[in-house]
Homo-oligomer: A and B are copies of this chain.
Amino acid sequence: MIDLNWEEEPVGDRYNLDWLVSVDDHVIEPPDVWQSRVPTKFRDRAPRLVNDGTSEFWHYEDLRIPTPGIAAVAGKSREHFSPDPVPYSEMRPGCYDPVARLEDMDRAGILASMCFPTFPRFCGQMFHEGEDKDLSLLCVQAYNDWMIDEWCGAAPGRFIPLMIIPLWDPQLAVKEIGRCAEKGARGLCFSENPVRLGLPSVHDRNRYWDPVWAAAEEASIIVCMHQGSASYRQATSDDAPQLVTMAWAIGTMSSGALLDWLFSPVFHRFPGLKIALSEGGIGWIPYYLERAEQILDKQRFWAAEDGHKLDRQGNVVARVSMEIDPLTLDVRQLFRDHVYGCFIDDQAGLALLDIVGGDNVMIETDYPHSDSTWPHSIEYAHKQLEGLDDETKYKLLRGNAERLYRFTPDTPPARTG
């Protein structure tokens, strides 16, 4: 159980800048997560790890899903990165073992870490796609129990609990949020574009997601949208090199998510709700905030969908169902009040930190993925943050994350790195 008594950000004569809190790392779930938790009758269709001698994969319902090598590269040099499946025996134990992870965190100056799922995918969409939704719900609950009780439970002052939700049923999601909030959950995984998962958008007029937002707001649970959580990467063309698709993906999908939320009615209906653009980068944010303001400034009189309909003389002849009023919309203020940008390595974004906002940015280390700064995370962070004042460094390294996630980490251990 996580201590719910969050303390004010520590201030003193000087800031401890030797450690960081990473709001985006990843677990590779150990083989027993589901098998030891779902009732016996579901076990043959719940995720179980199979090694048939030639390959290793998760068997779930009728699917066989290996762990891609690129998801577990910690300790490997980039010449050895590969998307080919990797068995647990070739992974660094920190991928799946919280005690080994703590050693790796100590080495890299990572005081606390919030971890996203691997087999369930970044917002648990694997279970949303499951055929047997009774099993899906059990799998969501099993993951959350394991994440909160076992992974975070191994060192409650070092791991920030992040839950997944049953995306296919908002009422079930509300129950699961309540259940996990009781156990200390601080964030929930959501999709950067639920439409790509066959789910309603954040603009949905039927307010499909409202119960989820209400529950998250009530429990002060942060809505975390990890890049890739739409299970969709657009290619510019079929014959474009994969490198183009990879370089394009994060900024493009995350900017779409940001604009969706800023122009949706959600923040207006749930003023306490906060979102994090996990592994979304920050360098693109100033451009898109500015562009959103320009579009509003120049087009809001006519382009609000179903909104201000003008006659030829510019008189408003109809003003209908757009739920927010574009004439008073202040996207920059909404960003400040509700959105947190997250970066691993982002020179452009840090150079424009005044625009993004020093209170709205958090650092990530992305262990054990290929974009990770591990094992040199804290040293690398200081290289990036050079020139900022100590208070701002502290906010980006720890302070903003600790405040947003109401998390008081353990007193830093002696550095081993």
Contacts and interface: CB of A to CB of B under 8 A. Distances in A.
Contacts of A256: 236, 244, 248, 252
A36 interface: no
Contacts of A304: 241-243
A255 interface: yes
Contact of A303 (B242, B296, B307): B242
A105 B287 CA distance: 28
Interface in A235-272: 236-244, 246-248, 250-252, 255-257, 259-260, 263
Interface in A197-214: 201, 203-205
Interface of A: 70, 77-84, 193, 195, 201, 203-205, 234, 236-244, 246-248, 250-252, 255-257, 259-260, 263, 281, 283-284, 286-288, 290-292, 294-305, 307, 310, 312-314, 322, 326, 345-349, 351-352, 355, 370-371
B295 A348 contact: no
Contact of A205 (B239, B244, B263, B283): B239
A204 B239 contact: yes
A287 B195 contact: no
A236 B287 CA distance: 18
B284 A243 contact: no
A288 B240 contact: no
A303 B263 contact: no
Given A237-B260, A305-B243, A310 B348 contact: no
Contacts of A326: 241, 243
Contacts of A346: 287, 290
A252 B255 contact: yes
A355 B346 CA distance: 13
Given A82-B310, A243-B299, 10 more contacts: A70-B302, A81-B301, A195-B236, A242-B303, A243-B303, A244-B256, A248-B256, A284-B288, A348-B352, A348-B355
Given A352-B351, A355-B351, A298 B263 contact: no
A260 B317 CA distance: 44
A397 to B, nearest CB: 20
A291 B281 contact: yes
Q: Which 6 A-B pairs have the closest CB atoms?
A: A283-B287, A201-B237, A286-B348, A80-B314, A195-B237, A247-B295
B259 A295 contact: no
B345 A294 contact: yes
B251 A236 contact: no
B247 A314 contact: no
A352 B348 CA distance: 7
A284 B77 CA distance: 30
Contact of A248 (B255, B296, B301, B349): B255
29 contacts: A78-B297, A78-B299, A82-B310, A82-B312, A83-B302, A195-B237, A203-B237, A236-B260, A240-B263, A241-B303, A241-B304, A243-B263, A243-B292, A243-B300, A243-B305, A244-B259, A246-B303, A247-B292, A248-B256, A251-B284, A284-B288, A286-B347, A286-B348, A286-B351, A294-B371, A298-B370, A299-B370, A348-B355, A351-B355
A402 to B, nearest CB: 27
A301 B77 CA distance: 11
A291 B79 contact: no
A301 B243 contact: no
A251 B243 contact: no
B281 A284 contact: no
B82 A302 contact: yes
